[in-house]
Structure formats: C-alpha cells, structure tokens
Chain A
C-alpha cells in the first residue's frame, strides 16, 4: 500500500542499529547480505559485466568510509549503510503503483516486485540511497531486513536474524524492535545516544547509528609519578648507567 499504514499503539519497528565505534569496515555484512539475498526473497541480485570493466550489481548493503577531523583525535570511520526502514518513507508514498510499501505489522519497507513498473521514483525519493534497481528484471529491489530469515521456522531462534547481523565479526550490527523502548536494542540506542541520519528530512529512520566513542588518548591521568620522575631524572641529571644499575644490586629473587 502506497499510503503509509497508520502506526498502531506500541507499533513494532524492526530495524538495525549500527555501531560506528567498532565497525572495522570489513565488508562482511555487505557480501553476506548479497549472498543471502541472491537466492532470497528478492533474488537474484544480478551483477552486470561481472568479469569486465564497470562491473556493478545489486547490493542491499554497502560500506562507506570517511575521515573525521584532522590531527590528534581525528578518526577514520567505516560506515555501513542499508535501508533504514523509515517511519515516514517517501520512497513508499511516491510510488505510483503500490509496489513500494511499508508493512503494518513490523514496519519493514518492501517492494512488491510483481507490480513494480521500474519507474525509479522511489530511488529518487530515498535520501539514503537504499534502493537498488535491477536493470535485468526492470524492477526496484532493496533490503528486506531479511524477512525470509527473521520469521523463518526452518531456522533456530538464534539464527532468525538478518544475514548481515549474523555475520559481523565485531558485532557492530544489532537487530531488534526499536518500537519497544524496553528492548535490548532500544536500550543500547538510549545508552549510546544512537543517532538518526539526516533527521532534518523528517523520514524518521528506524535504523540508528551509534557514534564512535571518544578515543581514550590518555587512559588515566596524570601519569604515575615514578615514571615521570625517573624519566625526568634520567635526562636531567645524566646519572651514569652504572649508578642506575646500583638499585638492582640488592634485588634478590628466587628462581
């Protein structure tokens, strides 16, 4: 349904939380997503010119990287991005056919491939670049939040998670109900002050990003006096090495 479903009280909002503090930019979540979804609900995810120049393909998740700041305290940040399953997604409302829709029961934004006409308007309407055109089938595709995993009864409970979450080696990706303030994932967002991307556009993304923690340049301050003293001592008084050795002369220890 192109019009958005009216949010229900206690609306379930399934989504991802991505921890920019520990993402190392390994691309595992990107290829695991590709792998799962290639034969999944929206599969195939075609690749064009796969062994030639200008190879490109349909991917639901991509890893960007940025540098932030200069000099001390600057950081390199790896930034994975997939559909944010927005609460107010214009990608849905602009769709002329109803192919693009937001599920009432869990808020997942999907494309019904069987009626999509491939007008691409939804991809223009998505500020985040989360829509992927399948030029082979002529239809739009996108992250399904692994809808064919998270409810899949052929999978054990702990496996009912998106492929990208399961694979992440550093555990930088979390999946859960962001509509439930008591859920573990919501608490994580609250604790780490999870952020919205481009909040100014009013799409109200469900997915949240946990900002990098400040680097602990100095774990504790001040430095232990002994080191500073003797370091100062060493350069200031130029005591001979022989003198410095004296303090170990009487240090006897049993082997």
Chain B
C-alpha cells in the first residue's frame, strides 16, 4: 500500500492524541496528575492538537474535503464513518471535562465522569482506527488479530510518553507513570514484534491462482500488465517495498520507537529532575520518529490482493 504522508502522519498523531486524551480523562479524575490548571491546559492542548491535527491531515487527504460531513452518516457499517463519529463524539465530553478541569480545576463528579467518558471514547476512536485497517480482507498484513491491539497499544504508549514528558514539568518524580510507560512500551513492542513475525511467516489465502481462477495447468504468472504505465491501482495499492528496505527500517522502528524510549524512560525515572525532562523529551521525540517509521512500514509492507493481477505470486 502506498504510504501516503498525510495518512502516516494522521494515524500516528491522532493515535498519540487520542491516547493522551484517554490517559488524561482517566488519570485526572483518579488524581494521578499534577493539580495545575496550566498542566491541564497544556496537556489537553497537546492532546487536542495531536488529535485534531491528525484528523485535519486526514480530511485534507480526501479528494473532496468540503464534503467531509457526509462521512458521519454511515456509522452502521463503516469503520471509517464510526471513527469519524467517535472522534467527534469524543470532543463533547472532552469539552466539558476540559473546561471543568482547566478553568475550574474540577476533576470529580460530573466532570470526572466526563473524563472517564472521554477516555472511553478516545479509546474507542483508536479502536475504530485500527478496525478500519483490520477489517480490510484484501490486505493480509492488516486483516489480522495483531492490528487492533497494535493500534491501541501504540496509541496508549505514545500518549504515555507525551504525558510522562509533560508531567515532569510539574512533578520531580512520576515513578508510577514512568513504570507504566515502560511496561506499555514493552507490551507495544511485543505486539509489534508478533505482528511482524505474523506478516513474515504467513501470507494471504489468496494467490495469483485464486485471483484468476486459473492454475490447473501449472504455475500462473503475469505475462503482460494491462497498461505499460502505472495506473491508480498501482500507485495506490501496488506500492512495493524492497525487502532490504524493510530490513533496514524495522531496526530503526525498533530502536527509535521502542528501545530508546524505554531506556530513556528508565533512565529518566532514575535520574529525575531536569535530566528526566530531557530524557523523556528525547524518548518522546525518538518514539515519534520510530512510530512514523513503524506506521510507514505498516503501509509499505502491506500487500493488496490487487497486486496479484500485476505480477505478485502471493500477498
């Protein structure tokens, strides 16, 4: 699949944004966060900026952005519509929760409830995002059980990294948070590794033979493509990453997305203070890079069944 920059950015940013939002909605009412209006403001602003920025990028990616409102109509069947609906729905409790928290310092009662609802909705939004991909049968690398957990874990992980960073401006030590972050990084990493293992060791049931209903005489292979030049299908779905590139990028995603953030978080927890801020900042930045690479790979390594008609043996 073609890794369109807007989509890579969108899914990564909105994942982090909704992850952070969920964490804020959950942790603030539970009192795990600094009791500072400024913190509330900054954290919420960051979460919303990421979420809205991501959504904005995805709207701009549309062929007809001015009609985007139509996308809320088909929540009964479409995960994309559901994601749209959920993302917007999330902003309703968020608004109440945010106003209460930022301006009135309230995190309990109705405001707290709104916080929990925000958390639930944000998680649901990320779940919908994951399902958009996981529901696509033509793409084996997406249509599998590791995708939704991956989206959820990575959203949570990136939210935590941002949170851990922000929290440190107000709290010298947030050991609990840091340990959770560390744990989530490990879980997310594990899921991602299992995902990679899965896509490396399995391929779709569909083959060029099933795609063409041929094969009784032996191996089926493409002789000529319909057009000598690339068409939309190939530009969009025929993106092929050379094996050596995926071999090169995966370590980058591993190190930058998981290993370094984990180590940095650990160290930040040990050192605390300004060093902690710097280290978590670095962890966050590194994870951002790593997750962009991870997300780019998520597209680039995905093989669509349509390529079976254009020379692929299996997908």
Chain A interface residues (CB < 8 Å from chain B): 2-4, 20, 27, 30, 54-59, 62-70, 73-77, 79, 81, 90, 92-99, 115-121, 123-129, 132-135, 137-140, 195-203, 209, 211-212
Looking at chain A's contact residues, is the secondary structure mostly helix, strand, loop, or mixed?
loop
For B235, the chain A residues whose CB sits under 8 A away are 56
With an 8 A cutoff between CB atoms, is B220 at the interface? yes
Q: A56-B230, A95-B80 are in contact. List 19 more A-B contacts (CB 8 A).
A: A2-B78, A2-B81, A4-B77, A20-B214, A30-B226, A58-B232, A66-B208, A68-B218, A68-B219, A73-B217, A81-B309, A92-B77, A98-B74, A127-B137, A132-B231, A138-B62, A197-B210, A198-B211, A202-B137
Binds A, one of B49-57, B65-73, B157-165, B288-296: B65-73
| A200→B77 CA distance, assembly (Å) | 21
- Sample of 24 A–B contacts (CB below 8 Å): A2-B74, A2-B81, A3-B74, A59-B226, A62-B231, A64-B222, A64-B309, A65-B223, A77-B214, A94-B77, A96-B73, A115-B67, A117-B64, A117-B70, A119-B71, A125-B137, A127-B206, A138-B64, A139-B64, A197-B210, A197-B212, A200-B210, A201-B206, A212-B214
| A95→B219 CA distance, assembly (Å) | 36
| A203→B230 CA distance, assembly (Å) | 26
| A203→B219 CA distance, assembly (Å) | 25
Q: A121–B205 contact, CB under 8 A?
A: no
| A196→B87 CA distance, assembly (Å) | 38
- Contacts between chains A and B (CB distance < 8 A), count: 208
With an 8 A cutoff between CB atoms, is B197 at the interface? no
- Count chain A CB atoms within 10 A of each CB in B61, B67, B214 and give the residue with the most: B214
For A139, the chain B residues whose CB sits under 8 A away are 63-64
Q: A137–B63 contact, CB under 8 A?
A: yes
Closest to A124 in B: B136
Chain B interface residues (CB < 8 Å from chain A): 1, 61-65, 67-68, 70-74, 76-81, 84, 132, 135-139, 205-206, 208, 210-227, 229-233, 235-237, 304-306, 309-310
For B77, the chain A residues whose CB sits under 8 A away are 2-4, 92-94
Q: B79–A94 contact, CB under 8 A?
A: yes
Closest to A112 in B: B70
Q: B63–A138 contact, CB under 8 A?
A: yes
> Top 3 A-B pairs ranked by shortest CB distance?
A118-B63, A138-B63, A69-B217
Q: A198–B210 contact, CB under 8 A?
A: yes
| A63→B73 CA distance, assembly (Å) | 36
| A115→B309 CA distance, assembly (Å) | 30
Q: B305–A198 contact, CB under 8 A?
A: yes
Closest to A119 in B: B62
Contact among A62, A76, A120, A138 with B227 in the assembled complex (CB-CB below 8 Å): A62
For A116, the chain B residues whose CB sits under 8 A away are 63-64, 67
Q: B222–A117 contact, CB under 8 A?
A: no
Contact among B80, B233, B305 with A119 in the assembled complex (CB-CB below 8 Å): B80
Q: B212–A129 contact, CB under 8 A?
A: no
Closest to B304 in A: A124
Closest to A55 in B: B229
Q: B78–A70 contact, CB under 8 A?
A: no
Contact among A30, A92, A133, A209 with B232 in the assembled complex (CB-CB below 8 Å): A133
Q: A99–B213 contact, CB under 8 A?
A: no
For B208, the chain A residues whose CB sits under 8 A away are 66
For A128, the chain B residues whose CB sits under 8 A away are 211, 305-306, 309
| A200→B158 CA distance, assembly (Å) | 37
Q: A96–B78 contact, CB under 8 A?
A: yes
Contact flag A211-B222 (CB < 8 Å), given A138-B64, A139-B64: no
Q: B76–A3 contact, CB under 8 A?
A: yes
Closest to A136 in B: B63
- Count chain B CB atoms within 10 A of each CB in A137, A139, A197, A211 and give the residue with the most: A197
| A75→B64 CA distance, assembly (Å) | 45
Contact flag A95-B74 (CB < 8 Å), given A123-B237, A125-B136, A200-B205: yes
Q: A94–B211 contact, CB under 8 A?
A: no
